[in-house]
Each structure stands twice: as structure tokens, then as C-alpha cells.
């Protein structure tokens, strides 16, 4: 137990005007002010940045003009006015070919059957606790009902009972 002098020292330390809690409060307020200022700066920068991006997307043109070819206005090709392309035949080793009949097809189901379930004519019967215990035919069981949950049936196995000494 503390002596009255220690209790008074602790109370004085908690209630004094300056101390570690005063510095902690000051640092917390400074951090809150910095976050508020950063949010304000971001808010003021989003508008001009969006305007700049939208303007640049509207005014952006590729440096090279697009080539537009109209079918009726093409000039006839003259010798020496084009690009010469030299080609060579592809070697036979680079060609891929298929041989018909080498792959086998496996049919897993020759026909398709559509199954239909009949509509329910009677509602699903509800079983109360006494009927449920009647189905168990004397087996040890318990129904557990949590406060806000569904009821749970617990089947107790007498072979798993633990005696007072902790043996099975």
C-alpha cells in the first residue's frame, strides 16, 4: 500500500498544469493541424490538375498527320516511286503441318438428359424437440440454443466419456 505522501505526489503529477501529458496534447494537436492542412492543399490542387489533364487531352494531336487514303483519289503507281520489298520462300523446316486422323476424340456422354424435379405439393414438416429426441431412440443428445443463433443438436457418445481421474 502506498503512503499518503506517495498518493499525494501521484495526484499532483496527474493534476499539474505542465508535464508530459501537456507535451503529448500539444504534439497531437500539431499532428491534427498538419493533416487538416494537407487535406486542404490536396483539395485545392485537384481542380486545377483535372482541368489541365482535360485540356491536354482535348488539344493533344499526334505529331505526324494521319494518312488518309481515299479509294477514288489514289495516284497510279509509277516505276521507282515505291519501296522495294525483297522476299524469300520460307524453309520447309519452319512450316507446321497437321496429319488428319492422328488425334482421337473421346465422347464422355453420348446423349444429354434433362432432369426436372416435381414442384413441392406439401410444405416441409417441422419437427419439435420431443419428436427429434424420439428419432434418436434413446441415444444421449442435447440441444444447444445460443442466445442469438440457430439451435444445434449435439450427439453425445458414451464411449468418449472422460472419468473423474481423466481416463477414458
- pLDDT one-digit tens code per residue, 70-128: 555 555 566 666 777 778 888 888 888 888 877 777 777 667 778 888 888 888 888 88
SS3 33: helix
> Residue 17 belongs to what domain range?
13-59
Look at residue 74 in the predicted model and tell me its pLDDT. 54
Chain centroid to CA 113: 37
End-to-end CA distance of the chain: 49
Query: Would residue 103 be called left, alpha or beta, if left means φ above 0 and alpha means ψ between -120 and 50 degrees?
Result: beta
148 falls within a domain: no
Residue 67 pLDDT exceeds 70? no
Say if 143 falls within a structural domain: no
Separation CA 24–CA 22 (nearest Å) = 5
- Per-residue model confidence (pLDDT) at position 38: 93
What does each C-alpha distance from 41 to 44, 121, 133 come to in angstroms?
5, 67, 70
- Is residue 47 domain-resident? yes
pTM of the model: 0.26
pLDDT of 40: 92
- pLDDT surpassing 90 at residue 63: no
Q: How many domains does the chain have?
A: 1
Average pLDDT in the 62-72 region? 55
C-alpha cell at 87: 522476299
In a domain, 146, yes or no: no
Spatial contact of 130 and 119, defined as CB atoms under 8 Å apart = no
Residue 77 falls inside a structural domain: no
Amino acid at each position: 500500500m502506498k503512503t499518503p505522501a506517495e498518493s499525494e505526489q501521484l495526484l499532483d503529477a496527474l493534476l499539474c498544469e505542465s508535464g508530459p501529458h501537456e507535451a503529448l496534447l500539444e504534439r497531437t494537436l500539431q499532428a491534427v493541424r498538419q493533416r487538416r492542412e494537407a487535406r486542404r492543399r490536396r483539395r485545392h490542387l485537384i481542380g486545377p490538375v483535372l482541368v489541365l489533364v482535360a485540356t491536354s487531352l482535348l488539344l493533344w494531336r499526334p505529331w505526324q498527320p494521319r494518312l488518309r487514303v481515299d479509294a477514288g483519289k489514289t495516284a497510279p503507281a509509277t516505276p521507282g516511286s515505291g519501296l522495294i520489298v525483297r522476299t524469300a520462300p520460307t524453309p520447309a523446316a519452319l512450316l507446321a503441318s497437321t496429319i488428319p486422323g492422328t488425334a482421337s476424340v473421346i465422347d464422355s456422354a453420348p446423349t444429354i438428359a434433362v432432369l426436372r424435379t416435381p414442384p413441392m405439393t406439401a410444405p416441409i414438416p417441422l419437427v419439435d424437440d420431443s419428436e427429434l429426441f424420439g428419432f434418436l431412440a434413446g441415444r444421449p443428445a442435447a440441444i444447444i440454443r445460443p442466445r442469438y443463433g440457430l439451435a444445434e443438436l449435439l450427439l453425445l457418445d458414451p464411449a468418449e466419456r472422460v472419468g473423474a481421474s481423466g481416463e477414458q
